[in-house]
A and B are shown apart, each in its own frame.
Chain A
Amino acid sequence: MAEKLTIGKALNLGLRRALEADPKVLIMGEDVGKLGGVFRITDGLQKDFGEERVIDTPLAESGIIGTAVGLAIRGYRPVCEIQFDGFVYPAYDQIVSQVAKMHYRSQGRVKMPMVIRIPFGGGIGAVEHHSESPEAYFAHTAGLKVVSCATPEDAYVMIQQAVASDDPIVFLEPKRRYYEKGDVEVDADLAGAYPLHASRVARPGTDVTVLAYGPMVRTALDAANAASADGRELEVIDLRTLSPLDLDPVFESVRRTGRCVVVHEAPSNVGLGAELAARITEQCFYSLEAPVLRVTGYDTPYPAARLEEEFLPDLDRVLDAVDRTFGW
């Protein structure tokens, strides 16, 4: 049965299903209990599953992830909430040096079936540290997988798939899109669901391939609608999985369109766009009519809220890049 849910509510329901499906699943983080998290993603879960499974932790991110490592060794499946992107860094050492390497270090004897949920990205008018896009740090780290959802349907399914996976997964939630609504098949069987580590064409097109993930998928789709009015059909691909990347659909698309624009909020320097451009150039060199262009945040710290509209990629900047791929 399809229900209209927001991304936030879909995540909430997905977490509820995950808690029901496996008694080893735990939720831990700051304010995730009574408050239900500052974005209410865990709303009502402590009430229904108890304080033993939905745990308000002390205010220490390294502690959240470090103890989750121990709980995972003990056989639990911790789902850790980091309150905002900019507060994951106290846990960075635990994530990069422990979570990511445990399986390799133990030659497969220890798994880290952990999900690290991070509301990420800007556009909410917040103060410093509340609008960052740290995906490249994690995608650069072997041993971690990184995904991002962009729709309520994906939010609902992907969070359950991530919890069920034995890989440690950084799960990036597009916080400014939490309140966007869409249809969710709430009764669908996970077994038949679209795979977690697969990209997907969000809108077919013929003229330019636009790659996006998380909050920028909506932006890319808006740009595609605007371009269509001007007679250009953009094919928007929602990457969904940032590490590992699933690029076959991307290569197939770029070979058809000959043009590609990558959009992300994170700065460009050594970002995901750079990796995408390199891989596309390697695989689609003879099909390309123009270099792969990037529309990204600038290589500055995230600015004060009254400047974020200028900082963030928007419809106009995507269309500008699309134009430039034709000007080559």
Chain B
Amino acid sequence: MTKGRGAGGESAPEFVQLLTPDGERIDKVTGADGVEYTVDFTDDEYRGLYRDLVVVRKLDAEATALQRQGELGIWASLLGQEAAQVGSGRALRQQDMAFPTYREHGVLYCRGIDPIMPLSLFRGVDHGAWDPNQFRFNMYTIVIGAQTLHATGYAMGITKDGKVGNDDGEAVIAYFGDGASAQGDVNEAFIWASVFNAPIVFFCQNNQYAISEPIEKQTRVPLYQRASGFGFPGVRVDGNDVLASYAVTRAALDHARHGQGPTLIEAYTYRMGAHTTTDDPTRYRMAGEVESWQARDPIARVRAFIAKQQIAGDDFFTEVDELARRESLALRERVLAMPDPDPLTIFEHVYPHGSPLIDSQRQGFAEYMDSFEGSSH
């Protein structure tokens, strides 16, 4: 355990790790919550995780490029956080429900969702516009922390519906950041989840920054330790280790689906890129810090492990790169082909039952637009 300054201290944090940065496999490890964690993957599954990590990173890089070229308004890159997202995303069972922030593109991908889905939001075409229940993946939430309460309420509904208590039980995962941990909403979510013993996993990606503010500005204790004060277990996992992220999340979700209540997971990771494409991290952090995290890259260690264990050869790595390239090209083409929304849609979906005020404004707007037809405007 890091002593003294708490999370973000100088010394390496203690966390659940099953794959070292050098690609050495640790057989099993007991977390601060007293649970023993391990994974038992087939070679095929290891290759699958590697494929996910590489594709997710490539798609993310493509989106960043699209933003640079003016095709997206903004992009929130997940660079560096692939393992936390792929590990937790793959740990979800079909029946589980996820509540993302605006950065969970990797989780979305692992849910089997078409990666084009959130890009209309970043392009400025809509605000999300998907059905959370259809995809078992809520819309992206931009107001920091708000979704943790929604996730908790959804989990309370699962309990009400009697859908907990066995292997087929449902569980919810709520994603949020280290900065979000300071919000009232997040703390209230912890209280609600605890009091109602909700089947939920709070998955905090501690990427060390909330825009420019380092973790010390949000907390004096490691974030996972907050859980004990709310009355449920907390565990810190190496968020750059896809195996550990998977193991810890899987266990916490199963705990929840069996009716045993919430868990807080702190995935200790690092935001390798800017906060978003509008951010300039050189104003607030040193290049050396970024470099030290480069040595803990979430993908390099899986590749090293696969190579060392001879789970796959060079052909496989080339194949995966090729797949990622194809998927990112396809994504690019579809973003470029995305039509602009019809202006009249401004007035759609304000209310399920409509409103005479909106109706009259829609009509006024349409007439106003028609008045320009054929004119020089």
Contact = CB atoms under 8 A, between A and B. Distances in A.
Given A30-B211, A59-B183, A126-B73, A306 B124 contact: yes
A232 interface: no
A31 B209 CA distance: 11
A204 interface: no
A316 interface: yes
Given A301-B350, A304-B127, A38 B357 contact: no
Interface stretch (B13-21, B55-63, B341-349): B341-349
Nearest to B212: A35
B125 interface: yes
A310 B218 contact: no
B41 interface: no
Nearest to A62: B184
B217 A127 contact: no
B361 A298 contact: yes
B350 A30 contact: no
Contacts of B26: none
A38 B283 CA distance: 11
B142 A128 contact: yes
A96 interface: no
B358 A306 contact: no
A216 to B, nearest CB: 18
B122 interface: yes
Given A304-B121, A307-B346, 9 more contacts: A35-B211, A59-B210, A62-B184, A87-B144, A90-B184, A127-B122, A301-B127, A304-B341, A310-B365
Interface in A267-309: 269, 298-301, 303-307
Contacts of A303: 345-346
B125 to A, nearest CB: 6
Contact of A129 (B74, B126, B142): B142
Given A56-B213, A59-B182, A90-B184, A310 B143 contact: no
A59 B343 contact: no
B213 A307 contact: no
Contacts of A320: 368, 371
Interface residues of A, number: 38
Contacts of B340: 306
Contacts of B143: 86-87, 89-90, 129
A152 interface: no
A140 interface: no
Contact of B213 (A36, A59, A86, A301): A59
Contacts of A316: 377
Nearest to B177: A59
Nearest to A303: B346
A298 B217 contact: no
Contacts of A62: 184
Contacts of B345: 303, 307
B255 interface: no
A305 B124 contact: yes
A86 B127 CA distance: 14
A58 B346 contact: no
Contacts of A63: 182, 184
Contact of B217 (A58, A304, A305): A58
A269 B357 contact: yes
B185 interface: yes
Interface of A: 30-31, 33-36, 38, 56-60, 62-63, 86-87, 89-90, 125-129, 269, 298-301, 303-307, 310-311, 316-317, 320
Size bin of chain B's contact surface: 35 or more
B142 to A, nearest CB: 5
B180 interface: yes
Contact of A127 (B121, B350, B371): B121
Contacts of B217: 56-58
B179 A300 contact: no
Nearest to B377: A316
A82 to B, nearest CB: 12
A58 B218 CA distance: 5
Instruction: Specify which of A30, A299, A300, A317 lies most central, judged by the most chain B CB atoms within 10 Å of its CB.
Output: A300
Given A87-B143, A127-B73, A299 B211 contact: no
B284 A34 contact: yes
Contact of A300 (B102, B125, B347, B377): B347
A317 B179 CA distance: 41
A140 to B, nearest CB: 19
A58 B212 contact: no
A119 to B, nearest CB: 13
B111 interface: no
Contacts of A125: 73, 124
Nearest to A86: B143
B123 interface: yes
A299 B357 CA distance: 8
A298 B210 contact: no
Contact of A30 (B210, B355, B361, B369): B210
B127 A128 contact: yes
A59 B358 contact: no
A265 to B, nearest CB: 14
A310 B73 contact: no
Contacts of B357: 269, 299
The 4 closest A-B pairs by CB, nearest first: A305-B124, A35-B212, A58-B182, A59-B179
Nearest to B281: A35
A269 B358 CA distance: 10
Nearest to A129: B142
B98 to A, nearest CB: 19
A87 B145 CA distance: 11
Contacts of A269: 357
B182 A60 contact: yes
A38 B345 CA distance: 31
Contacts of B184: 60, 62-63, 90
B182 A35 contact: no
Contacts of A298: 346-347, 358, 361, 365
